[in-house]
Amino acid sequence: MKIFNTLTQKKENIDLSKQTLKIYVCGPTVYSELHIGNMRPLILADVLTRYFRHHKIEVKTVVNITDIDDKIILSAKQQNVDEKYISETNIKNYRENQQKLNLLTPTCEPQVTNEIDTILNYIDKLFDLNAAYKSGGNVYFNVKKFSKVYGKLSNQNLEKMNETLDNDKNKKYFADFVLWKNTDGGIKWDSKYGKGRPGWHTQCVAFIEKFLQGFVDIHIGGVDLKFPHHENEIIQKYAYDQKPLANIWMHNGSLNIFGVKMSKSLGNILKIKDFLNNNDPNTLRYIFYKSSYEAPINLNSSLLTEAKTKVAAWDSLFQKVSKNFQIQGIRLQEKNEIDSEIEQAIQDDFNFPNILSEVDKKITEIHTLYKNFEKNVTKLNDCFSKTIYCLKTILGFVFEDVQITTEEKKLYEEWCTKKSEKKYQEADKIRKILIEKSIL
């Protein structure tokens, strides 16, 4: 299958006969409750993992959690609590939403505060290699020394970059970034550079080194992380052992609300918790799959309505078909096959819009076959089972298995009897109830 690599700007091959695949996702910073945009790279990684597992590949997925940074410290100060309280509250909330969204549990979710030694070991090696220097109590990475490898991912040239990235006077070069920070406020750890805490950019490379042996098949993150975060990951790894960090770099697009980027200052942050309080988790997956993963999404009322209507219609159709199989006493097949057209769309760089349009065709087919249930029972069983497998197991939607009750079965039989007795008025009354119960 092919996946677009942002670094080479080409679709590249992923060998599905491999035994293992390693995926790394730049995960959330837990300074406040997560918003729906935070879930996009996680859902992308989730679908990839699901699909590779379908091909019997052992997938190792690591997602980091940044549980200490300036925003967490500020938030703790404002609320007069310690940083741990802020991060733990938001992690708890994140876990609940992971579950609601039916996200597979990653192999490992390292948290910065539990891995200070791992990060310090990485910084030590960079320091010993003269890739880092101490200044003003902080430790900085020396970007200039390795400038030839910098900027390829974000397609930028250091010489043409704006030199006023920030006003940190301790840096020797404008693109240098902090590895170890000696700060006034917040929690600090001991190190040979003095008390401090890690900068943001080292954790991912240090975790890939520790948990994924220094190299991943697929590295995932939002497009806004390309620069400087991902450039900083690449350059650190290069300084560390002159090797690449990832085979393929995948970047998901941003998420806008009514055409505007979500931001705290505009007050248009849509928290995942609030979204899920008002909407079925399936609607969020549908919204994400409606666009190519790399494209921006503009969430507006028409997209939300479409998502809600679609997933509700699927659910009602699946209930109807499943209950009818039960009435007829026919077992539904348990497929672990994907329809070939859908699989083609998956293998073409996870082309979500095409996947959804192929799914739509299958839904139409199920409707058509269902109209003549008895004649099409075998075909319907096959098409239904494959479609359900794809939606649930590969795309991660949740549809509850329904069991027909004895009363519902009796009601159905009554309807059949009334029809055969040509008591159409009575049959019609029962028919209405059966429709309400998603049996017809």
Give the footprint of Zn ion on this chain (CB under 5 A). 26, 204
Which residue carries 């975060």 as its tokens? Answer: 229
- Integer Cα distance of 232 and 200 in angstroms: 10
> How is residue 275 written in tokens?
């979204």
Least distance in Å: CB of 200 to Zn ion?
8
Helix (H, G, I), strand (E, B) or coil at 10: strand
The pairing of beta strand 58-63 with beta strand 20-25: parallel
- Minimum Å distance from CB 384 to Zn ion? 41
Specify the residue, 29 or 75, whose C-beta has the smaller distance to Zn ion: 29
Q: How far is the CB of 73 from Zn ion (least distance, A)?
A: 20
CA distance 246 to 23: 9
Query: How many whole angstroms from its chain centre is CA 162?
Result: 32
Q: What is d(CA 151, CA 197) in angstroms, rounded to the nearest whole number?
A: 27
* Tokens representing residue 12 in the block: 């590249």
CB atoms within 10 A of CB 212: 21
Question: 204 vs 366, which CB is nearer to Zn ion?
Answer: 204
Least CB distance from residue 229 to Zn ion, whole Å? Answer: 5
Work out how close the CB of 125 gets to Zn ion at its nearest, in angstroms, rounded to a whole number: 18
DSSP 195: S
Torsion of CA 47, 52, 54, 60, to 10 degrees: -90
C-beta of 216: minimal distance to Zn ion in Å? 11
Whole-angstrom Cα distance, residue 165 to residue 167? 7
What is the DSSP track for 38-84? GHHHHHHHHHHHHHHHHTT-EEEEEE-BB--SHHHHHHHHHHTS-HH
Burial 3-30 (b: 16+ CB within 10 A, else e): bbbbbeeeeeebeeeeeebbbbbbbbbb
Measured from the CB atom, is 26 or 359 closer to Zn ion? 26
Which CB atom, from 116 or from 332, has the smaller least distance to Zn ion? Answer: 116
Query: Rounded to an integer, what distance in angstroms lies between the CA atom of residue 78 and that of residue 74?
Result: 6
For residue 351 the two structure tokens come to 């082309």
Q: What's the min distance (Å) between Cβ of 64 and Zn ion?
A: 7
d(CA 126, CA 233): 12
Min dist CB 221 to Zn ion, Å, is 6
Query: If we measure between CA atoms, which residue out of 39, 37, 32 comes closest to residue 63?
Result: 39
**Least spacing, CB of residue 264 vs Zn ion, in Å:** 22
- Nearest CB to Zn ion, comparing residues 112 and 204: 204
